Amino acid sequence: MAQAADLLGRRREALSLFARCLELAPDFSAARYHHAKLLLRLHMYEGAMREAEHLLADDPRNPVLRRLKALILDAIGEEQQSSAIWQELADEIPGHVDGWIRLGHALRATGNGAGSIAAYRRAIACSESCGLAWWSLANMKTFRFTAADVAAMRSELDRTGLGAEDRINLLFALGKAFEDEGAIAKSFEHYAKGNAARRLRTDYHWDDINAEVSAQKSLFTREFLNSRNGAGCSVPDPIFILGRPRSGSTLIEQILSSHPAVEGTAELPYVADFAWRLLEGECVERSIDYPQILAELPAAALRAMGEEYLARARVHRKLGRPFFIDKSPANYHHAGLILLILPNAKIIDARRNPAACCFSMFKHNYGETNLRLNELGRVYRNYVELLAHFDRVLPGRIHRVIY
């Protein structure tokens, strides 16, 4: 029943059913494993780690369970520990492509660029058609492909039977390779094909996006926000850096985290999690859309969400500094929610030249955010419109850095 609920997207119900299942049968390892995987997908990392450790206590060398633990460690920024596990698994199962790619990601996060490149190369040696390994190399700022690499990627693209994901990743990787060579027309052609192929697999509805901006402007008036003064959690610890991807937010994070009172963490998923949880639960139960449901929540509920955010972010705070940075660009969609649940948090909007920002996104294989150039422009306009609204109703509340 828990697995069925999960497949139907009823994740809170699935969690409850898994908990009941394990209450009735604590030794049911399969249930505990699937519970851990669901907790990981829901970014409930401490619970996922407890379940993983429980399973590993009985079966410490199980590669599937060690992989699960490594994924959790990656998610909470413990790449040194995770890379050790990925290295063990790659050595034990050298023909497993995913293991080498995961090792490459973890080594890159620790600053071991050479080790990361070597791991991606091993993945390619296992499967030359592995588009993700090629794209992972392309996505390293200092890496340059050889002529042999370009020939190999082009050969794979010409091969029949190549999977859609591998094809998309190879197109983006070749776009970067040709750009580095100065072959701009070829580069643009491959980026455009990669985006077009990705767009066919992306479920994006413009009516929903436009409706979101209208709904937020309608709800978050000056009067509504003023009426919620004193609600939410008053702790000032979080610093949110938001905006569009490729806007220079990482540089702002690096500058701020050089201050001894500020710690850089990661792109934390928790604000978006609250929005999804409201959509799954409160909105369904009360037949009200998000964000309008926020008008129905009492001050205590807003404060509880703010406190939960801080509790869940604690696992990412390693240095004990007073302030920490959440650098998730997409949080601009939820600026109003942040203002309600964490009224004393800092919010920084990072902006780059719009054409440069959108084109830089066009050159990156982000997955669901890959759109046509004109669509990227429309999203950017919606983003500017939304934050301009908050500038009007709460002047100066969001600090803007324009490159």
pLDDT at 160: 87
Give the SS3 label for residue 312.
helix
Arithmetic mean of pLDDT, 97-113:
96
pLDDT of residue 383: 96
- Residues in contact with 305: Cβ distance below 8 Å, sequence separation at least 6, in sequence order: 232, 233, 274, 341
Residues counted in the chain: 403
Give the pLDDT score at 203. Answer: 77
**Is the full-model pTM beyond 0.85?**
yes
Q: Is the pLDDT of residue 288 over 90?
A: no
Tokens of 85: 């596990």
Rg of the chain in Å (alpha carbons): 22
Mean pLDDT of 269-283: 86
Q: Pick from 135, 212, 216: which is nearest to 168 by CA? A: 135
Would you state the pLDDT for residue 201? 83
How many Å apart are CA 75 and CA 394, to the nearest integer?
A: 34
Q: What strands, in cross-sheet order, belong to the sheet with 323-326?
A: 262-266, 323-326, 238-243, 346-351, 399-402
| 201/76: higher pLDDT | 76
Residue 399 has pLDDT above 90, yes or no: yes
Q: What percent of the chain has pLDDT over 70?
A: 98
pLDDT at residue 366 in the model: 84
User: Tokens 């080594």 appear where?
Assistant: 107
The pLDDT assigned to 287 comes to: 67
* Short-list 359, 362, 328, 361, CA closest to 345: 328
Mean pLDDT of 391-401: 97
- The owner of tokens 């509340």 is 397
Statement: residue 284 has pLDDT above 70: no
Q: What pLDDT score does 70 carry? A: 98
- Domains in the chain with CATH codes: 2-166 (1.25.40.10), 206-402 (3.40.50.300)
Q: What pLDDT shows up at residue 202?
A: 79
The residue to which tokens 């060690």 are assigned? 66
Of 61-75, 167-181, 209-223, the one with minimum mean pLDDT is 209-223
Token representation of residue 254: 């690096």
Please write the tens of the pLDDT for every residue from 5-32: 999 988 889 999 999 999 999 999 999 9
pLDDT tens per residue across span 322-352: 999 999 999 999 999 999 999 999 999 999 9
pLDDT range class, residue 206, cuts 50, 70, 90: low
Q: What is the Cα–Cα distance from 245 to 234, expressed in whole angstroms?
A: 29
Helices and strands (H, E) in the chain, number of each type: 21, 5
Distance CA 17, CA 61 (A): 28
pLDDT digit string, tens, across residues 231-240: 999 999 999 9
Q: Exposed (0-12), middle (13-18) or buried (19+): which is 282, by Cβ within 10 Å?
A: middle
Phi and psi angles of residue 354, each rounded to the nearest 5 degrees, phi first: -55, -40
